[in-house]
Amino acid sequence: MRTEFNINIYNGCREELKFVYCKNVDKPENHFMHINKYCEIYVFVDGDANYIVEDMIFSLKKGDIVIITPYEVHKAVLQKKGNYERFYFLIPIDAFSYMTVDPLKKILEQIKIYHNLLSLPSKEREEMINLLYEMKKLAENKPTSDLQMYSCFLKFIDIIMQNLGTAEDDVVTKNSQQFPQILSDVLRYIDDNLTDIRTAEEIAQHFHISLPYLSSMFKSYINIGIKKYIQLRKISYAKSLLDNGRNVTEACFESGFNSCSYFIKTFKEHIGTTPFAYVSDKKPDR
């Protein structure tokens, strides 16, 4: 079962807010590391799943909230085939720019304290889950107005805002863990040297480890090969450059690609469209 609803927030917002509910029998191989340009707020409901954001792994319980900032690499990690239920929002970064105080900006500033994971007290957790099911019913009972859905969404954001300052750091720590030190060091090295890295072999040589060992670590913990991971991080950076006004050629070379044709091919592989089409779709007069 999948329920989606796009909320047209206001005329000045360039893109719509997306609400999604999913409940299905799912498999680990259906989930991949990915990026997007939105703030994603994910709420776990049921299933045997962990969640990866950058170099952190979270074990989840019902009602846990994972907040992913734009261009962060992330994925759900299912432990086995089985039932998997969740809600998520894809929120344009300018969704609250009409407000005097932007709540999304405040959430993104503070969520790093909790390493992207917010675990609410039981009363607020139940209130939030009931609200999300209410939004699901509204989305299914068409026609539903943007105003009804947006009103519920604002209540959801308010629950997060009210609990950002009270969530316990140790609760988050118990439900999260970092990758092994060597893998964390490699991920940090890729972040710091992204545009200069040309091959995975360079990284293995820098850390004095074999490429097969490095590749096996990425496969074991991230379920993606290191070469694909480097591509994804470069595409993430290129996507942010395009979103901030760079043309395709500039985004190609500034993100560390040395061939425009290869950049276009890789961009389409990860994003599903060419960078030219991506830029064209962003134009407000479309």
Ordered structural domains, the chain, with CATH? 2-176 (2.60.120.10), 179-282 (1.10.10.60)
As a whole number, mean pLDDT of residues 235-250 equals 90
As a whole number, mean pLDDT of residues 5-21 equals 78
Q: Say whether pLDDT at 208 is over 70.
A: yes
Confidence at 10, pLDDT banded by 50, 70, 90? low
User: E strand or H helix at 33, and its extent?
Assistant: none
Q: Say whether pLDDT at 172 is over 70.
A: no
282 contacts 269 by C-beta, under 8 angstroms:
no
pLDDT (tens digit per residue) in 60-104: 999 999 999 988 888 898 888 999 999 999 999 888 888 888 899
Rounded CA separation 33/24 (Å): 20
Confidence at 173, pLDDT banded by 50, 70, 90? very low
Helix (H, G, I), strand (E, B) or coil at 135: helix
Q: What is the pTM of this model?
A: 0.76
Rounded CA separation 81/84 (Å): 9
